[in-house]
Structure 1
Amino acid sequence: MGDSTMLFDLEPPSHGGDLEAWQRKMSQAEHWLDLSSACNREPWPIPEIDPKLWYELPDQARLYQAAEDFFGQSPVAIGAGTQQIIEVLPPLLQSQGAGQKVMVPQTGYQEHGYCWQKWGYSLHYYGSLEELLDQKWDVAVVIHPNNPTAEEMNPSTRVELMARLTSDAQRYLVVDEAFLDAAPERSWLEGDLPERCFVLRSAGKFFGLAGARVGFAFAHEMWRAPLRSLIGPWPVATPALEVLVQALGDSEWQAEAKASLTERNGYFQDQVVPKLNTLFDSQEVTHTLLFYTWRTSPEQAKKAFNALHSVGIHVRLGDGWIRVSLPAGHEMQRLNHALVKLLQGHQLKELA
């Protein structure tokens, strides 16, 4: 069972590009192009909201139905973003006597590891998903596709992980699919979930509605009551609930959004990626439909990050990697022109 010593004083991880913090530190940053979040830069358009929604307590019944229609099965719980679900899974499994060893990706959304660690679990890291097949663990977290590495689980690894869950009654698996809405055919939700498997989906990435703070937990029916108990009543505000009901049901926009992502990715790969390869001094690039990530040296990453700031482009800087959100169609030329200016200027000499 997880260690009873809670570590709630741990230093929390930093998040996103945090453009507002940079704007507070630097002059003229309010005009930057923010490509740091990895959310859809052409989000679902928010309609006019009926003011009465601000005066009513939320009734989630319609959202549960809309989610079932969109995902193909009903979530067992809805939270204030997948973040809230990530927060409650450690105490939930601790109450079930889960073992102490938790494995999370070496590079990935850091809140996963942080939340398990602060509840007293022993945290371990893996480099590739295949390592999970060779090691003993009590809880494993898979980010599918991974943010920021873009790694996806291949079908054979999925089959073997599923077999381990079925054969070992003490193991639990958490699959974070926050970035999978644009390619749902690769989801774990395409089949029945084992009893000790949790799948998380988000409204913030494909739909671009990060501010709505809506996340979905899918799992065996046995987890419905305990998850909802830990999350508590009314986790999603009434206006956000109404927006998500409409967005999940807007199949016309969803089709247009997927077509736009395909078109924008084509342009980005042809026109922008070669320039960023030069800037980052790296061709080690991976991507999803929503973001691209370059691996380079920590020093080169920091230099390139600062150089992009000099032309008003804000991206996500990691330890030896840089992630760039796929721009909206109307932002492509602005980014392209900024990169041309940068590569033709003195900053390029400083990067050499």
Structure 2
Amino acid sequence: MLEHGGRLLRAAQRYGIPAAQWLDLSTGINPDSWPLPAIPARAWQRLPEDDDGLAEIAADYYGAPHALPVAGSQAAIQALPELRARSRVGVLAPGYAEHAHAWRRAGHAVETLAGDDLLAQRERYDVVVLIHPNNPGGDRFERDALLALQQMLAARGGWLLIDEAFMDATPERSLCGDTAREGLIVLRSAGKFFGLAGARAGFVCAAPALLAALRERLGPWTLTGPARYVLRHALADRDWQRDMRARLRAQGERLAALLAAHGLEPIGGSAFFQWRRDPRAAQLHDALARRAILTRLFEQPASLRFGLPGDEHEWQRLDAALAELGDLHE
């Protein structure tokens, strides 16, 4: 399996520091999660029912004609390549590596390119995979350019697959509302914005025929009853969503400013994380880990991704740790 953030227990073992003492900034998950309600016993005791209204609530939240609940967007990432004959696939890089991995594993011809190169060479591909905003670089794409790309691909039976896992803070940039178009597929994650990564819940927005094929491929009961119960309420909580969007945007700006103040000016990011390319990334990662602060290290290109601290104490802890690094980041 590929490497991901959130491997806190492994870091605790490696550095000999109890897990409870760590500040985990290795993921892009909102540290201020949606407040969980009491879950009724029925949600645990009965098989999940897919006519419980979750799909309709999700479609309304995302502004999409149709939405299919899945066991995290990862489930769709793994299954979608199996719905196509062998194709030429262009995948945004650097980015969430599971996309290229899944298409290669299914036997497709995959190339990974930077965003500008991918769009410039779009005629070469049957499928184009974008992450918007990108993780970790924060790349963003103009709506008109994306729809033109979708139209070009669809004309020859191709797909434009857009992973919008980090879009919730800026929903006005989403293409979920356009997914009645053939060949346009948008993935959304409930884990990042709502801080519910443990629910392993996501949604796919696309035309009905494609969603039906994906549903058949995934099989029944893709989400647990408790997860479905929680999501129905979280996706309907518009007041919390409005307040959290503003909070996340402010926190993302605060993190960028904090890193810059310590000589680590980010070159990209989003409301959920900031990304710093640096040849000393491995040294910085190790130095912070020795202070029980876990970041996400990328080897290619050498870089670090910083997630958001939670409470004020965590912000001060990161600030103090970066100050202690001294010459290492100067």
TM-score, L = length of structure 2: 0.92
SS at match of 2:111: strand
Give the whole-Å Cα distance in 2 for the aligned partners of 1:284 and 1:273. Answer: 7
Of the structure 1 ranges 263-272 and 74-83, higher mean CA displacement relative to structure 2 is found in 263-272
Match for residue 23 of structure 1?
Answer: 12
Match for residue 141 of structure 1?
Answer: 129
2:12 is matched by which residue type in structure 1?
Answer: Q
1:82 is matched by which residue type in structure 2?
Answer: S
Match for residue 79 of structure 1?
Answer: 70
Offset at residue 82 of structure 1 (A): 0.5
1:333 is matched by which residue type in structure 2?
Answer: Q
Give the whole-Å Cα distance in 2 for the aligned partners of 1:234 and 1:104. Answer: 30
Matches within 5 A, 1:328-339: 328-330=310-312, 331-339=314-322
String of CA shifts for 1:84-118, please: whole Å, max 9, x gaps.
Answer: 11111111123xxxx42111122111111111111
Match for residue 238 of structure 2?
Answer: 251
Q: 2:273 aligns with which of 278, 291, 315?
A: 291
Cα RMSD (Å) of the superposition? 1.8
1:290 is matched by which residue type in structure 2?
Answer: F
Offset at residue 237 of structure 1 (A): 0.4
Offset at residue 74 of structure 1 (A): 4.5
Of the structure 1 ranges 233-242 and 44-53, higher mean CA displacement relative to structure 2 is found in 44-53
Offset at residue 29 of structure 1 (A): 4.1
Give the whole-Å Cα distance in 1 for the aligned partners of 2:133 and 2:93. Answer: 14
- The answer to whether the 8 Å contact 1:101/1:138 transfers is yes
Give the whole-Å Cα distance in 2 for the aligned partners of 1:267 and 1:116. Answer: 37
Which segments of structure 1 move beyond 6 Å, counting only runs of 4 or more? none
Matches within 5 A, 1:37-48: 37-48=27-38
Question: Using a 3 Å threshold, how does the CA distance of structure 1 residues 284 and 254 change in structure 2: closer, same or farther?
Answer: closer
Match for residue 7 of structure 1?
Answer: none
Offset at residue 306 of structure 1 (A): 0.7
1:325 aligns with 2:316: no
Give the whole-Å Cα distance in 2 for the aligned partners of 1:251 and 1:169. Answer: 39
Offset at residue 267 of structure 1 (A): 3.0
SS at match of 1:205: helix
Matches within 5 A, 1:258-277: 258-275=245-262, 277=264
Question: Using a 3 Å threshold, how does the CA distance of structure 1 residues 128 and 310 change in structure 2: closer, same or farther?
Answer: same
Match for residue 6 of structure 1?
Answer: none
Structure 1 or 2, whichever has the larger Rg, is 1
Give the whole-Å Cα distance in 2 for the aligned partners of 1:79 and 1:115. Answer: 16
- The answer to whether the 8 Å contact 1:75/1:216 transfers is no
The answer for unaligned runs of 5 or more in structure 2 is none
Give the whole-Å Cα distance in 1 for the aligned partners of 2:179 and 2:219. Answer: 26
The answer for unaligned runs of 5 or more in structure 1 is 1-11, 278-282
Give the whole-Å Cα distance in 2 for the aligned partners of 1:180 and 1:254. Answer: 13
- The answer to whether the 8 Å contact 1:133/1:160 transfers is no
Matches within 5 A, 1:125-274: 125-135=112-122, 136-166=124-154, 168-274=155-261
Give the whole-Å Cα distance in 1 for the aligned partners of 2:24 and 2:121. Answer: 40
1:68 aligns with 2:48: no
Give the whole-Å Cα distance in 1 for the aligned partners of 2:144 and 2:181. Answer: 17
- The answer to whether the 8 Å contact 1:38/1:290 transfers is yes
Matched residues, number: 324
- The answer to whether the 8 Å contact 1:284/1:296 transfers is no
1:161 is matched by which residue type in structure 2?
Answer: L
Match for residue 316 of structure 1?
Answer: 296
- The answer to whether the 8 Å contact 2:127/2:161 transfers is yes
Give percent identity, aligned residues only: 35
1:19 is matched by which residue type in structure 2?
Answer: L
Give the whole-Å Cα distance in 2 for the aligned partners of 1:116 and 1:225. Answer: 20
SS at match of 1:141: strand
SS at match of 2:211: helix
